[in-house]
Structure 1
Amino acid sequence: MNHIAKKECNTCDHTETKAHKGIMNFFSEESFERLQSIMYVKHAAKGDYLFWEGDTADKLYYVIQGGVRITKLSDTGKSFILYLHQAGDLFGQMDPFQNSLQSFSAEVTEDCKIGVIQRKDLEVLLWQHGDLAIEFMKWMGLMHRMTESKFRDLMMYGKPGALCSLLIRLSNSYGIPNGKHTLINYKISNSEMADMIGATRESVNRMLSDMKKEDAVEFHNGQIMIKNAAYLRDICHCENCPLEICRM
């Protein structure tokens, strides 16, 4: 299975977006190959769930091809979309050396080819290779920081701030240059964006309309063009987080 992810990723729809390296930002090539050696391949169709909130958290998932979104159900029954994972991403809640439960659910958004890593196999690798263990700790730390920053977006600067932060994250994850502007090469509905920031579709419609009047965004064939990123950063009080954190 060595190098399967590198070969498959070349067919992904988002290969021309901003340098998305997935977990290669965190793991050396040697460590990545060790992780590949313990993966088994799982296929999943659009609409399937890889796991549900409350399931046993004993696996990690590496996206070889396709897309997955991570959702969280609130106490009131509202579903929040927290992450959009694409080819090259590693995800899943797993606490090495102890049992835990999934805090989120994972829904397949386009037909997927997934590399699955079982906890028991990962534990052996972490015991055997100290350099991999350190890189794994760094990856886990950054994933926690990413989650914290998203909850900050939802709570600190209101719905306009949360929406502006979302647009910046989408731009960092799926943006492609278009002259002086950035086109988000990912079709997303206003309803989906509402689920990502805990707002209604109508309020997202209104906020996007206001941004368009300010010449900060445009819309092309269902996609969003960022024309004034500085305007968005001002509203969400951007802290200039690294791209590894400020992404979907």
Structure 2
Amino acid sequence: MGNANRTTPEAAHHIPQFLSDENMERLTQIMYPKQAAEGDYLFWEGDTADRLYYVHEGTVKLSKSTEDGKAFIVQVAQPGDLFGEFGSCEPQSYGYDGIVMEDVSLGVILIKDLEVLIWRHGDMALQLFKWMSQMQQFMQSKFRDLLLFGKNGALASTLIRLTNSYGEMDERGIRITIKLTHTDLANMIGSTREGVNRMLSEYKAAGAIELENGRFVVTNLSFFQAMVGCAECPLSVCRI
């Protein structure tokens, strides 16, 4: 972790980095456009997963409900990300809700159309497999941080990941450009809003973070890196 301000329009984890130009063009040709507004649900947990979504603009949070009714944000999909359920021979259902965080422009890909494309162009299957392997590493790293470092470390890890995905340098530190509530942060680490409030107050008292105009500014990234023994993971893994 800890590669702040190296986000690019086509970051290392985005699907265009895994597909050849020809295959990305083929994928684009089978997409149909969809617009959705903040707060809209693209799908619900348990719905039939018969399509994938490619983000052109905006952000979508993938949120899973726990047995006690709490929400856990699994991923925040941003431009260049592809999300959905894919890779099994059996019919699947979504394991999470897809909720629009910021107005989005999407490309929707029907699984049946993608299967035909892969059948016609075998090299695409290998490229998609590499992408899925990268996504698995990303998810494993997030759960590892939560399990090994507890809520405090998980929040520190989340803030580092946010600086990598949405960080912009300014005179005070790294500004996280996406607007997040304390509840959003709590849902990212399986905590409560009150717990996050307490931890953020401690970070602020330590001079590590500030809140300005509804955006978090990380003023001491090393503070958070030390909390989780930051190993300078690649951006493809250390992201939100």
TM-score, normalisation: structure 1: 0.87
1:20–1:173 contact (8 Å) kept in structure 2: no
What percent of counterpart residues are identical? 47
Q: Does 2:114 match 1:114? A: no
* Partner of residue 8, structure 2: 19
- Structure 1 residues 180 and 43 mapped into 2: Cα distance closer, same or farther (>3 Å)? closer
SS of match in other structure, 2:203:
helix
* Partner of residue 223, structure 2: 231
Q: Does 2:202 match 1:213? A: no
Q: Matches of 1:203 and 1:105 in 2, distance apart?
A: 24
2:56–2:79 contact (8 Å) kept in structure 1: yes
Report the CA distance between 1:43 and its aligned residue: 2.1
Q: Matches of 2:215 and 2:184 in 1, distance apart?
A: 13
1:160–1:236 contact (8 Å) kept in structure 2: no
Residue 209 of structure 2 aligns with an amino acid whose one-letter code is V
* Partner of residue 123, structure 2: 131
* Partner of residue 195, structure 1: 187
Q: Matches of 1:212 and 1:118 in 2, distance apart?
A: 46
Alignment of 1:61-72 (within 5 A): 61-72=53-64
Report the CA distance between 1:120 and its aligned residue: 1.1
SS of match in other structure, 1:157:
helix
Q: Matches of 2:188 and 2:164 in 1, distance apart?
A: 16
Farther off after superposition, 219-228 or 167-176: 219-228
Q: Matches of 2:124 and 2:171 in 1, distance apart?
A: 40
Farther off after superposition, 178-187 or 30-39: 178-187
Report the CA distance between 1:180 and its aligned residue: 7.0
Structure 1: where are the runs of 5+ without partners?
A: 1-15
Q: Matches of 2:137 and 2:96 in 1, distance apart?
A: 16
Cα deviation digits, residues 22-67 of structure 1 (max 9, x gap)? 3223223222111101111122222221111111122110012222
Report the CA distance between 1:17 and its aligned residue: 7.9
Residue 133 of structure 1 aligns with an amino acid whose one-letter code is A
Q: Does 2:92 match 1:100? A: yes
Cα deviation digits, residues 77-110 of structure 1 (max 9, x gap)? 1111121112221111122543222111101122
Report the CA distance between 1:176 and its aligned residue: 0.8
Q: Does 2:18 match 1:29? A: no
Alignment of 1:130-149 (within 5 A): 130-149=122-141
Residue 65 of structure 2 aligns with an amino acid whose one-letter code is L
Aligned equivalent of 1:60, options 46, 52, 55: 52
2:172–2:217 contact (8 Å) kept in structure 1: no
Aligned equivalent of 1:177, options 151, 169, 179: 169
* RMSD of Structure 2 on Structure 1 (CA): 1.8
